[in-house]
Amino acid sequence: MTIAIGTAAALIAWRERPEPGAVPLVVLLAGQCWWSAFLIFDLEAATLGAKVFWANLRWIGVVTIPVGWALFSLEYTGRDRYVRPRYVVLLSLVPLLTVVFALTGNPLLYTDSTLVVEDGLSLLDRSPGPWFWVITAYTYLLGLLGSVPLLGLIWNDSLPFRGQSAALLVGIMAPWASNVLFLMDAVPLPGLDPTPVAFSISGVAYLGALTRFRLFGMSPSPNPRARRLLFERMPDGAIVTDGHDHIVDSNETGAALLGTEPRCALGRPLREVVPDESLVPTDGSVSEQRLFRSPHDDRLYDVTATRITDIHDRTIGHVITFHDVSEHVRQQQRHEVLNRVFRHNIRTETNVISSYADLLADEESQGVADEITASASRIDELATKARETIELFEQGREPADPVSLASLLDDGIATVRERYPAARIERERDLDDIYVAIVLEPVFENLIENGVEHNAGSEPSVRIEVEPDGDWVRVRIADDGPGIDDYERSPLERGTETPLEHGSGLGLWLAKWGAELAGGSVTFGANEPSGSVVTVEVPVLTPSGASGHRSTERPSDDQ
């Protein structure tokens, strides 16, 4: 029975042998079958010499089991760097010596062998030598070391991993416990080792792990290597220090920006590798973010030190990360320059143009002067939109700050009414519990203004409707003007412009980009009998200080 169950489990494992841990598991199961088979031969033998012969051969299976268990555990849990040939040879030295001692009858393993009769059964009674206790301790040591990685998976969030680990641990614990009872002479027949009988329990446990819990269909082996790869290949530099600020680990990026290599930095004090004392964490606390310019690549880095703590919340080291912000700083400088140009220089130049046009104008050229002034005004307006767009992107870098939708719409309406007093702008009331991203402020203002500005009527009209839909809200801004031309709408819907197809300004693009930064979208439609309808659909946010979580999954059209 034990041999049949073990053989079935070994065959299933053999079919999965490309998977990590499959071959060592086959070795383990083969060792159990070998031990069980030669125990039968031992019990069937009638003479002392025959029993000793089969008992000595049985040691091949006995020493194979702990080696197979340890290698299986290492491979299966992703620690296969320890399953290289040199480590396997080192792991097998003690078992190989044991087999040699057994096959040669060396008294280091057994000092004496005799026949005893227990309840009519002829059994082999052997007196263990010093090496017997060496191999016994070694066997249990390998069993313990192989169990430790699997114990860690018992608390894993993945139910299959917990089931696999529990079944595997039952598989090793059953024969382990029975062998301990045998060594303590706590079994009914002192000369009969019941361990092979317990192999039937472990065989069933291994079969359950292979079939019920998909032992090789869902494996945790990639996890340790994935974490290591993530650390080594992450674009940010990272170094790990111990509690005494000595470098214990580093990725390639981190070592390069410090002007060294990982193997050269390991074991050295952080102060020796990084002369900048401000980067060294103090008092065991999390260091604040600070800027650091590497003297080796002349790039600017945002440095953060994060505590590593033990279970008692004591600081045992730090992870220091270096995030390259050189490009961000350069872009910020460019934005500041562009913002200054759009805010001051262009406005100054357009005012100068308008002033000279007025000075040079006479009765015949007044119309031309007015055109020049209007063109200068449009240039100034375009510069204003460009500045708002730059500020929008800068604001979009920060976390979304919830603000009342009603206040955003009211502010936009007030601004537009100040510029166009004749405009009739209406909106729905009772919007106080709806909060959206503050980045939408210029979006609504530009869409309301667009609906008024391009309307040639004496009383341009804009109506704002709000439709909450669960965790999303739709804001429709409808006007009665001429509508949005196809040449303006097509680039927006396509998401890009071409030399032949492009819009005439930035207002609608600003609305589209702002809605996207808020996690939503903008769609354009026609209003009946005339005009356009622009719909802004964005997620509803939880106001600051309130608990709860808002979904960002967009509702379907049929909801």
Residue 360: the pLDDT is 66
The torsion defined by the Cα of 113, 115, 116 and 117, in degrees rounded to 10, comes to 160
Side chain identity at 336, as an amino acid letter?
E
For residues 107-114, average pLDDT:
92
Instruction: Calculate the average pLDDT of the chain.
Output: 81
Higher pLDDT, 367 or 390: 367
pTM score above 0.75: no
415-420 long-range CB contacts below 8 Å, 24 or more apart? Answer: 415/445, 415/449, 416/445, 416/448, 416/449, 416/452, 416/462, 419/449, 420/449, 420/452, 420/453, 420/460
From CA 53, how far away is CA 42, in angstroms rounded? 8
pLDDT at 205 over 80: yes
Work out the pLDDT band at 64, boundaries 50, 70, 90: very high
pLDDT at 99 over 70: yes
Of 452, 449, 478, 450, nearest to 463 by C-alpha is 478
From CA 35, how far away is CA 62, in angstroms rounded? 6
From CA 128, how far away is CA 136, in angstroms rounded? 11
Residue 303: the pLDDT is 85
Higher pLDDT, 458 or 535: 535
Residue 66: the pLDDT is 95
pLDDT at 525 over 90: no
Residue 254: the pLDDT is 86
Work out the pLDDT band at 452, boundaries 50, 70, 90: confident
For residues 79-88, average pLDDT:
89
Percent of the chain with pLDDT over 90: 21
pLDDT at 333 over 80: no
Residue 282: the pLDDT is 60
For residues 352-362, average pLDDT:
69
Tokens of 460: 């341009």
From CA 383, how far away is CA 21, in angstroms rounded? 66
Work out the pLDDT band at 278, boundaries 50, 70, 90: low
In terms of CATH, what superfamily is 234-324?
PAS domain (3.30.450.20)
For residues 219-238, average pLDDT:
82
For residues 528-549, average pLDDT:
77
403 DSSP β-pair partners: 436
> Spelled out in words, what is the top-level CATH class assigned to the domain 399-559?
alpha beta
From CA 462, how far away is CA 454, in angstroms rounded? 12
Residue 63: the pLDDT is 95
Residue 520: the pLDDT is 87
For residues 12-19, average pLDDT:
89
pLDDT at 500 over 50: no
Residue 32: the pLDDT is 93
pLDDT in tens, 139-165: 999 999 999 988 888 876 667 788 888
Tokens of 165: 């680990």
Residue 50: the pLDDT is 93
State the first-to-last Cα distance of the chain, in angstroms, to the nearest integer. Answer: 60
In the chain, where are the structural domains located? 2-221, 234-324, 327-397, 399-559
Highest mean pLDDT among 254-258, 329-333, 464-468: 464-468
Work out the pLDDT band at 110, boundaries 50, 70, 90: very high
pLDDT at 353 over 90: no
Higher pLDDT, 20 or 551: 20
For the segment(s) 2-221, the CATH number from 1.20.1070, 2.60.120, 1.10.3110, 3.40.190 is 1.20.1070
pLDDT in tens, 126-137: 899 999 999 999
Lowest pLDDT segment from 163-177, 181-195, 497-511 = 497-511
Work out the pLDDT band at 197, boundaries 50, 70, 90: confident
Lowest pLDDT segment from 319-323, 355-359, 415-419, 474-478 = 355-359
Residue 286: the pLDDT is 43
pLDDT in tens, 257-276: 888 888 888 888 888 887 66
Question: Which helix (DSSP H) or strand (DSSP E) does residue 39 occupy?
Answer: helix 22-44
pLDDT at 58 over 80: yes
